[in-house]
């Protein structure tokens, strides 16, 4: 490991540290200077003012899971678009544009496929 490589890793280390601090500091600040509320029903689940009935640990339909999956797919997709946005229009405008169109097109095929399969329609069980 040359000194130069080690030196570069310092940047990465600082960047990670800043990220962690950036995430944790609001929590610490609000823990320190935020007010504290008190009350019997403070920790109960909020259900429009009524005590909740039964536990939430029940089996519910798989369609919720599919919605979450589709959201996750496109969330990660946006993650990749950030660096593209930075390096966009550095000379080859057409190429970048087509690449993005292909990238998003393939991903949205997943939705089209799921839609055709009828995963999103709520089937009535009873």
Partner 1 sequence: MANEFLEPITEQTFYLNMGPQHPSTHGVLRLFLKLDGEYIVEADPVIGYGHRGHEKMAESHLYEQFLPNTSRMDYLAGLIFNHGYVAAVEKMTGIEVPPRAEYIRVICAELNRISSHLLWFGTYVMDLGGFTPFLYSFDDRENILDILDRVSGSRLTYSYCRFGGVSRDVDDEFITATHQFIERLRSRWDDYHNLVTKNVIFIHRAKDVGVINREVALRFGCTGPILRAAGVPYDVRKAEPYSVYSELDFEIPTGTKGDALDRYLVRLQEMEQSLHIIEQALERLPDGAIKAAVPHKVRPPRGDYYFAVESARGAVGFYIVSDGTSYPYRLKARVPSYGNLQVLTEVLPGTLVADTISILGSIDIVVPEVDR
Partner 2 sequence: MAQKEIAPGARVQLAVVEEVLNLCRANSLWPMTFGLACCAIEMMAAGASRFDLDRFGAGVFRPSPRQSDLMIVAGTISKKMAPTIVTLWEQMPAPKWCIAMGNCAISGGPFEYDGQYAIVPGAELIVPVDVYVPGCPPRPEGLIQGFLALEDLITKGEKRNVLRRFKRKIVKGR
Where along the sequence are the contacts to partner 1 (CB under 8 A)? 47-50, 52-54, 56-61, 63, 122, 124-126
69/104 Cα distance (integer angstroms)? 16
- Kindly identify the residues of this chain, within the stretch 2-61, that bind partner 2 according to CB under 8 A: 31-42, 44, 46, 49-51
CA distance 107 to 122: 23
Smallest gap, in angstroms, from Cβ of residue 117 to partner 1? 18
Strand ranges (DSSP E) for the chain? none
| Nearest CB to partner 1, comparing residues 3 and 56 | 56
What are 26's two structure tokens? Answer: 């609001």
Cβ of residue 29: shortest distance to partner 2, in angstroms?
9
Placement of tokens 């998003």 in the chain: 104
Which residues in this chain contact partner 2 in the complex, by CB under 8 A? 31-42, 44, 46, 49-51
């Amino acid at each position: 490991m040359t000194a130069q490589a080690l030196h570069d890793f310092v940047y990465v280390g600082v960047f990670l540290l800043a990220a962690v601090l950036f995430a944790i500091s609001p929590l610490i600040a609000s823990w320190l200077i935020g007010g504290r509320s008190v009350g019997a029903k403070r920790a109960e689940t909020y259900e429009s003012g009524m005590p909740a009935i039964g536990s939430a640990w029940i089996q519910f339909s798989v369609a919720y899971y599919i919605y979450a999956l589709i959201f996750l797919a496109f969330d990660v997709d946006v993650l990749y678009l950030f660096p593209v946005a930075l390096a966009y229009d550095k000379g080859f405008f057409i190429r970048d544009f087509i690449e993005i169109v292909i990238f998003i097109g393939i991903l949205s095929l997943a939705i089209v496929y799921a839609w055709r399969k009828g995963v999103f329609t709520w089937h009535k069980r009873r």
